[in-house]
Amino acid sequence: MSMESFEQDAADDSTILPVEIRKVPKSLEEIVRITKFSKSEIRLLYKGFKQECPHGAVTEREFQTIYSHFFPHGNCQNYTSFLFRVLDRRKRMYFTFEDYIQTLSILVRGSIKEKLHWIFRFYDIYDDGKLTKQTLETIVRSLYDLLGPNIFVHQPVTDETIQKHSTILFEKLDRHHSGSINLDDFMKYCLRNEQLVNEIELLSSTAV
């Protein structure tokens, strides 16, 4: 599929966003080059992406709406905001098919170091290169909110539950007791934890 083919597909869709930010993907060959997907996989992924986003650029509000379909009983606002920040790598207030598929390529086909680097970027919600206990608590809280209260029928989630979960996680990562964790500390801890590495690999292998 050439870039012209992508453009023809996009031209058939009605405009939802302003014309100036409607986006057409790069050529199929270029996307193959920058990801670890085959041409047939990219065609399939693009078809699904275009169904959700015919104009080719996803805003944060649209992203939240898409996520709410998958988690109808939860509150996805904070979680999608953090995830959107990572997908919108160029800070344009939207992300494109290339942004999406490059992220997916890392999570599904990337090395364990690439996956851990991406996870750290996701956790680093203030973009300051470090994780604090408060940062982790914010992420953990957003995850519980996303899943919704019905998931934890036998053990209702309280502020104490979230704080305890966050504290345990932070203390495992903060090996030097410095109060913050940088990328190097995060990578070293995770790579030494064989069970964690296996869980990340298993989760990634079933992502698509």
Domains 22-109 and 111-208 are alike in CATH topology: yes
pLDDT confidence of residue 193: 86
| 203 contacts: CB under 8 Å, gap ≥ 6 | none
pLDDT confidence of residue 22: 54
Domain ranges of the chain: 22-109, 111-208
**Which architecture characterizes domain 22-109 according to CATH?**
Orthogonal Bundle (1.10)
Residue ranges for the chain with pLDDT beneath 70: 1-24, 150-154, 199-208
How far apart are alpha carbons 66 and 45 in whole angstroms?
Answer: 16
Name the token pair of 68.
């709410």
- The secondary structure of 46-94 as a DSSP string is HHHHHHH-TTSEE-HHHHHHHHHHH-TTS--HHHHHHHHHHH-TT-SSS
- Report the 10 Å Cβ neighbour count for 14: 6
DSSP state at residue 13: S
